[in-house]
Amino acid sequence: MNAGPHASSARPRGSLGSLLAALAAVAAGGHALALGAPLWRVGALACGALASCWLLLRFWRRPTATSLRKAALLLGGAAVAGATWVTAPYHLDRCSVRVWLNRPVPAARLQLGWGPDLAHFASFRGNPVDVVLEIVATGEKSARAQANHVSLAALTAGVEAVPLSALTADSPWCVFHGSWWSRDVVQPTALRWRGRTDGPLQLRLWMNPTSGVVELRCNGTTHARIDLWAPTAKQRTVWIDPAPGRALTTEFPAHALRQSPSLCLLPGVFDDTDRTLGIRRLEFGGACQLVLEGAQLAAALSIDGGRVVAEDGGARLAPQELGARCLVGLPCPPSRGALTAALAEPHLLLHVFLLGGLAFALITSRVPAAWLARMLLAGTGIAGTLLAAELGLRALAPRPAGRFLVREPNLRATFRPFPNAMPGVGPVAQFHTNSLGLRGREVGATDRVRILAIGGSTTECLYLDQERAWPAVLERALSRASGVSTWVGNAGVSGHSSLEHTVQARHLLSQPPRLDILVILVGVNDLWRRVALRDADYAPARDRSAAALQSLTSRAFWAYPKAPDETHRRDFALLRLLDRVVPRVSAAQRTHDMVQDDCGKFLIDARRTRAAADRLDRLPELAAALDEYRRNLTEIAHCAKRHRVRLVLLTQPHLYQAGIPAPHEAALAFGWTPPSTRPTYFTARVLAQGLDAYNRTLREVCTATGVECFDAATALPKDLAVMYDDVHFTDEGSRRLGEALARHLLRGAPYAK
């Protein structure tokens, strides 16, 4: 008689298990897709989700307490087993790398990096060992020495400095001017340190005319016997490895193997004493199994800004520059972790299934019926609405798949520059991108000539209205003068130099739409990038290495195919819509790679800072930077020839000049020097010399490769009517450049036969 009420109150209990099973399956499937899981795994999980929904409806029609508990057990187990089977290998499988080096290097000086900009990394470690170090003043000296003193300036264990108070000494050692010093040694006397370290010991000993002979012992074994005499005072560095032949080890997630892992050698590994480093053996373990030795190891490694030399027993790394971070590209062996293999075994999945089912059954047996009913209705409604909205948005506004995108497609932004910051620029500037992520209109089926403009902020024309940027002026001028429908896409991005232009040309010319002409305005960002760095920090070869290609690609493009380890917000249409609607979210996305603010206030601050700063009237050495610039432009020229695209390189107009007028000087805002105690900027005279050198190099490349050169630097006057700061165009300057370039292009193919 009372079965009805009890059955009614029990109705929702199994429903919670079914609902949670379905939602867990859907969430696991979406996460697996974001991680790059195989589609067949995701498909199998989707089938499990559909089965969960079917069982939900079946048990909802004929609810009994027993059947609902069975449903919770069945569906909960299926959800947990399915989610574990799909996603766990991507989170729990681990790989390891062991490196054997030919000389002692602190483990903290090595890292394994992966992902864009090598933002993710794992530190190496060694096996800690107990150490007893003895520094013995033998009492001996050479015939040249005036005495037999021994002095220890510093001791480092791994990367940790050992305080002088941690050492104990026999007589007559003493601390003198921050160093341990032995004097008047009659018989051998020792200075000792007892401790534990996972890296080599570094000793810095003083050498001078009064120094004698020292003997270094580690754990009872004599490591070296050194005569410290020198005609003038200087320091000598000695390395001692307490456990020679040991490997440095690190662990990292298995998915990092798909993200261009690199061995990062931090500053301090190479110096004037040790200019090379030998690797005797490289061993991958865990989810991947690979051992490299000898010639095979040398062939598999690649060092950025240097060379790898094969030698007996391994490979020797020889960097081009010392004192900077060095990247060594590693091979990427296929991975099949123990967990991945284990989850393929049916009996192990059955154990996971039973444990998950029992957990869901316990959860669903303790929740009040009224709350379960509300949760079921709310969860089902929310999940259905979100799914329908996602599918609808993907159908209405699909994202181009497998494309290199310079900007976010269909971006809409508005800028309102201050009149006093940018004289000659309109009060409102609309910035729109098309479905290809380029500023400009969509490519039409009737467009017979298609042109792409690549460059930095002077091509982007961020503060100029959509129709007043010089690529848009060029499009109208060519169509009007030739009678041929012409499309011009603007791929300019603030801050990009010839390095990014090289990568953009390589990929944008290889994908639709087919291009007829490529126009590049380049030069000023290469100069600014060079003069803002100290000589020791500027390493052009490192930026061109294979190990740094992934970082360079992420700077050159907003999105690109199979971009590893980056945010997956753009994979979901709902989140892309949220980025466009919610200002707090969209602000960062809209200004991706837009280094200026939306009103130009930064320009007022920059001019004020430059006016109050010191002046430097000498540029750093530009030879290496100009060689890099020449290589980049030559590579772009070869790329255009391979794709049979007409290439036109533009020199960079600027206001810089010797004896610059006061109004022009007041308009300058850029050209700062490397960081120092006081803000310092280069003078307009030397900046003119630098930019003229880059323009001259561009002309030389055009002559050597047969590429067209449009000398925009001479076509536009050094006048505030055409540029509102160092290099950026006013509306009038943009119009003049677009029309002058159109006249040049009309004299060649495909306009002139």
* 33: pLDDT strictly greater than 60: no
Longest distance between any two alpha carbons in the chain, whole Å: 115
**35-81 tens-digit pLDDT:** 444 555 555 556 655 565 555 555 555 554 455 555 555 556 666 66
Q: Which residue has the tokens 């990009």?
A: 496
pTM of the model: 0.54
**599-644 tens-digit pLDDT:** 788 888 889 889 989 999 999 989 889 998 999 999 999 999 999 9
Which amino acid appears at position 345 of this protein? E
Most confident of 16-20, 369-373, 451-455: 451-455
DSSP for 559-581, written as a single string: B-TT-TTS--GGG-HHHHHHHHH
Alpha-helix runs per DSSP H in 62-105? 65-92
Which bin fits 562, alpha (ψ -120 to 50), beta or left (φ > 0)? left
| Sheet of 129-137, strand order | 168-169, 189-197, 129-137, 213-218, 221-227
Among 6-15, 105-114, 528-537, where is mean pLDDT lowest? 6-15
pLDDT at 480: 95
**377-429 tens-digit pLDDT:** 555 566 667 677 777 776 676 655 568 899 888 888 888 888 788 999 999 99
pLDDT at 338: 43
**677-723 tens-digit pLDDT:** 678 899 999 999 999 999 999 999 999 999 999 999 999 999 999 99
- How far, in Å, CA of 329 to CA of 308, rounded? 11
Higher pLDDT pick, 745 / 396: 745
- How far, in Å, CA of 175 to CA of 162, rounded? 14
pLDDT at 185: 83
* 13: pLDDT strictly greater than 60: no
Instruction: List the structure tokens of 16.
Output: 């919670």
Q: Give the 3-state secondary structure of residue 38.
A: coil
* 568: pLDDT strictly greater than 50: no
Residue 236: CB partners within 8 Å, gap ≥ 6?
A: 204, 205, 206, 207, 226, 228
pLDDT at 45: 54
pLDDT at 543: 46
Among 326-340, 579-593, 652-666, where is mean pLDDT lowest? 579-593
- How far, in Å, CA of 31 to CA of 45, rounded? 12
710 touches 649 (CB < 8 A): yes
Higher pLDDT pick, 258 / 496: 496
pLDDT at 406: 92
Share of residues in the chain with pLDDT > 90 (%):
33
Q: Output DSSP code: residue 659.
A: T
- Average pLDDT over the chain, rounded to whole? 78
Instruction: List the structure tokens of 208.
Output: 């001078």
Which amino acid appears at position 514 of this protein? R
pLDDT at 6: 41
Among 182-191, 503-512, 519-528, where is mean pLDDT lowest? 182-191
pLDDT at 152: 92
Instruction: List the structure tokens of 63.
Output: 């609810």
Res. 242 pLDDT band, cuts 50 70 90:
confident
Among 1-15, 131-145, 391-405, 427-441, where is mean pLDDT lowest? 1-15
Q: Exposed, middle or buried, 140 (CB in 10 Å: 0-12/13-18/19+)?
A: middle
pLDDT at 5: 41
